[in-house]
Structure 1
């Protein structure tokens, strides 16, 4: 039982650490500090592969340079597109016109992206991390995983087993108590 409790506690602490990091990442996302993105196409391969997880941070558009990768909302697809900047010019009223191209694409994206004072740029790339995020957020995985975590939490709350010497002593005292108890002859139980 002690081994089971140790394993349960270890797994629980590891999962708790991942949980805390997840909550912090969620909070940072909600506050607009970061934007996690799962790469769904091969347009930036081999540098950014399908299934990678990008953690983007805000960047001032005025500081964006040709050759950098940026993630910009596309009116055509309704999603953020993470491609390399091939051109950037002021468009007036504090807006910018950006042209982009995927590394694996033969031509530039169709048209300019008109953006405001900031864009998203990858600060961290986790190879294959997008697959893990997509898999873990499926209900068929998340629900059993949550149940397992609750069971591990319950295991961690079990009281500790008494030391072996205390158990041996209590057994020994129980035997001595039986040996010392007088038995009357002929008495009915």
Structure 2
């Protein structure tokens, strides 16, 4: 049981350290985590990756950069590679295409800022996405409770009574 506790504690310490690191880096450097939910950027960015995105001026973006932008009419976020960019008054008109797509996105995006992809962590988006669901939150609570029970509960060893002979169990 002691070995099981040690392994369990190590696994959750690694997961906890990773979460704290991602949160701390995000906070210090103004990064926002985003989860990749489609394969339009594969193989460069696999589905299920966790992206760390930093908001920057569109004036700093260049053709070939991978950026995250809001789709028109609150259609969610899209992360693709810039294929063309041109200034239009105080805004920028950006055309993008996913690496796995044969054609550019249907319409250019008009914006003043872009989410520059700073880091990609393959597979971590699946874990982060799971924690955003009621099932994931309940799972965290159950695991936390199980850890408390596993480390708080100690089987009592029988204390020797004066005058009682203790016999060791034979090992097989």
Say which of 133, 136, 143 aligns to 1:138.
133
Pick one of 83, 108, 130 that aligns with 1:112.
Answer: 108
For structure 2, list consecutive stretches of 5 or more residues without a partner in the other structure.
165-172
Larger radius of gyration: 1
Alignment of 1:30-179 (within 5 A): 33-76=30-73, 78-93=75-90, 95-116=91-112, 118-157=113-152, 171=160, 174-175=162-163
SS of equivalent residue, structure 1 residue 41: coil
- Paired residues of 1:100 and 1:108 also in contact (CA < 8 A): yes
Change (3 A) 1:113 1:147: same
Q: Which has the higher helix share?
A: 1
TM-score, length basis structure 2: 0.74
Q: What is the root-mean-square deviation of aligned Cα atoms in Å? A: 3.1
In the alignment, structure 1 segments of 5+ residues that lack a partner are 177-189
Q: Is contact 1:9–1:152 with CA below 8 Å preserved after alignment?
A: no
TM-score, reference length from structure 1: 0.68
Deviations 1:26-48 (A, max 9, x none): 57768992222222222222212
